[in-house]
């Protein structure tokens, strides 16, 4: 750089600031739809789920054994006649004092019984009397699951904004729901920029033209967005030309809530995203103080009025850096909460970074970076973290090898044995 022509440098923006700024621009999509339980995985609940019944609905046995009155067995070895047999799904009659009921797991407790003795603690009486020796002294309530101990009638079992999981879908079924009202999926148009990009499947490795590379970002971005509940329109590769970029943006804006691109957000002559988005709306190009990452663009693209589109409507635009690891990490840290917010998810951690765990670094990082760094690491069998040796933002192997990120503050070195902040991919990759 010559002293007479300094290139102006944009001051770096703190990640937390970028995150809160970005979140401030999202209004959750208002639409909802009804889906069958099996289709509700990872969707965002649009209603408070209130239980109309107790779960379990009745007191029941948690063991195969004998239901009895605890007061009838004051010492081990008492013999009680078996007056009835109650299997799951069947209802017994009131238990006569001084008798017991053969009972199975899940079967309703007969009226009068207040405890269950598991069959392992009994012996059948020989001869033709149908009875059992009870070899233990039962406590009232033992091996009994109380009505409503899981869910009480009238309680909200899952709140609006909950991201549904396998267990929560089971819980909804358990209170009798077959369908749920969920937020509409965000419609996202995805395209990759870069004349160097070719598609796997279209060009064989042996036929790669000089200078070409395969488009990796398209695939992981698409997968991540699908996991986040988005409907993705994959618009492929857009060549590095202003008109082509404008045309792609224009078509995408009308029918999508977000246009996500990778590449072309730096400020080189081959980076056409900025002028193209500005031509159709507005764009802020941020230099975020993070590594990998840094260039990140947020903007809006105007929709053409007509055909169901009101004048003045806009579509969100996010431009990610092209380097695969930068693209991957900025997606997880910035776009993920954006997309959750767009669906009205209130889950804790969705507005900021997910929770970090303090873990031991089993590596050294002797050179501190000026930016807050997200290192690709993996938990080892000794309960510490190993560092992937090559932390370059172009090395996607690091992200594939790792199971999480160390969130390392700017200007901080790490010595083996230090405690560091670890964010698990499993908390980020929904």
- Answer for which of 56, 161, 264, 337 binds Mg ion (CB under 5 A) is 264
- Answer for which of 186, 322, 337, 344 binds ligand AMP (CB under 6 A) is 322
| Part in contact with ligand AMP (CB under 6 A); list of ranges 104-112, 226-234, 318-326, 404-412 | 318-326
| Part in contact with ligand AMP (CB under 6 A); list of ranges 70-78, 165-173, 199-207, 258-266 | 258-266
Rg (CA), the chain: 31
Residue 205: strand, helix, or coil: helix
| Part in contact with ligand AMP (CB under 6 A); list of ranges 40-48, 103-111, 209-217, 349-357 | 209-217
215 contact, one of ligand AMP, Mg ion, none, CB 5-8 Å limit per kind = ligand AMP
Q: CB-based contacts of 191: which residues, under 8 Å, 6+ apart? A: 234, 235, 236, 237, 238, 248, 252, 259, 260, 261
| Part in contact with ligand AMP (CB under 6 A); list of ranges 3-11, 106-114, 201-209, 216-224 | 216-224
User: Does residue 287 interact with ligand AMP by CB under 6 A?
Assistant: no
| Part in contact with Mg ion (CB under 5 A); list of ranges 204-212, 241-249, 293-301, 316-324 | 316-324
Nearest approach in angstroms of CB 278 to Mg ion is 18
User: Does residue 404 interact with Mg ion by CB under 5 A?
Assistant: no
User: Does residue 319 interact with ligand AMP by CB under 6 A?
Assistant: no
Nearest of 79, 75, 87 to residue 122 by alpha carbon: 79
User: Does residue 194 interact with Mg ion by CB under 5 A?
Assistant: yes
Q: Give the whole-angstrom CA distance, residue 140 versus residue 69.
A: 8
- 384-411 burial code (b ≥16 CB/10 A, e <16): bbbbbeebebebbebbeebebbbbbebe
DSSP annotation string for 340-366: HHHTT---TTSSSPPPPEEEEE-S-B-
User: Does residue 264 interact with ligand AMP by CB under 6 A?
Assistant: yes
DSSP annotation string for 370-385: SSEEEEEEEE-TTSEE
Q: Give the whole-angstrom CA distance, residue 331 versus residue 329.
A: 5
Q: What is the DSSP letter of 117?
A: E
Kindly determine how many residues on this chain lie close enough to bind ligand AMP according to the rule CB under 6 A.
17
User: Does residue 203 interact with ligand AMP by CB under 6 A?
Assistant: no
- Answer for which of 263, 295, 324, 344 binds Mg ion (CB under 5 A) is 263
Question: Dihedral (C-alpha) 169, 174, 178, 182: value to the nearest 10 degrees?
Answer: -40
Q: Which is nearer to ligand AMP, 203 or 213 (CB)?
A: 213
Binding interface with ligand AMP (CB under 6 A):
192, 194, 196-197, 213, 215-218, 262-264, 266, 321-324
Binding interface with Mg ion (CB under 5 A):
194, 263-264, 322
């Amino acid at each position: 750089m010559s002293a007479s022509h300094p290139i102006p440098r944009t001051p770096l923006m703190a990640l937390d600031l970028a995150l809160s700024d970005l979140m401030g621009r999202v209004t959750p999509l208002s639409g909802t739809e009804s889906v069958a339980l099996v289709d509700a995985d990872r969707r965002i609940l649009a209603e408070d789920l209130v239980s109309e019944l107790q779960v379990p609905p009745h007191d029941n046995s948690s063991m195969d054994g004998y239901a009895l009155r605890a007061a009838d067995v004051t010492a081990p070895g008492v013999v009680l006649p078996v007056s009835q047999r109650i299997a799951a799904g069947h209802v017994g009659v009131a238990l006569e004092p001084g008798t017991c009921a053969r009972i199975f797991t899940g079967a309703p407790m007969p009226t009068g019984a207040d405890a269950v003795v598991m069959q392992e603690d009994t012996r059948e009486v020989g001869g033709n009397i149908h009875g059992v020796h009870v070899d233990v002294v039962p406590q009232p309530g033992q091996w009994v699951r109380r009505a409503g101990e899981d869910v009480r009638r009238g309680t909200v079992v899952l709140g609006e904004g909950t991201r549904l999981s396998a267990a929560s879908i089971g819980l909804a079924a358990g209170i009798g729901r077959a369908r749920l009202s969920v937020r509409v999926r965000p419609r996202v148009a995805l395209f990759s920029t870069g004349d160097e990009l070719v598609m796997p499947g279209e060009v064989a490795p042996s036929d790669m033209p000089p200078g070409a590379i395969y488009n990796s970002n398209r695939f992981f971005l698409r997968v991540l967005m699908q996991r986040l509940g988005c409907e993705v329109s994959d618009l492929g590769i857009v060549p590095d030309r202003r008109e082509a970029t404008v045309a792609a943006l224009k078509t995408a804006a009308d029918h999508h809530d977000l246009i996500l691109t990778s590449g072309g957000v730096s400020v080189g002559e081959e980076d056409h995203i900025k002028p193209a988005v500005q031509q159709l709306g507005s764009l802020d190009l941020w230099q975020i103080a993070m590594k990998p990452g840094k260039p990140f663009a947020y903007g809006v693209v105007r929709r053409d009025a007509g055909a169901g589109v009101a004048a003045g409507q806009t579509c969100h635009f996010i431009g990610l850096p092209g380097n695969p690891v930068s693209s991957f990490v900025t997606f997880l840290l910035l776009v993920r909460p954006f997309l959750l917010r767009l669906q009205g998810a209130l889950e804790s951690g969705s507005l900021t970074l997910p929770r970090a765990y303090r873990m031991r670094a089993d590596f050294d990082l002797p050179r501190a970076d000026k930016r807050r760094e997200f290192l690709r690491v993996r938990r080892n069998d000794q309960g510490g973290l190993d560092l992937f040796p090559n932390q370059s933002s172009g090395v996607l192997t690091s992200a594939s090898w790792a199971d999480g990120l160390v969130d390392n503050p700017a200007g901080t070195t790490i010595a083996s044995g230090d405690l560091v902040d670890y964010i698990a991919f499993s908390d980020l990759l929904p």
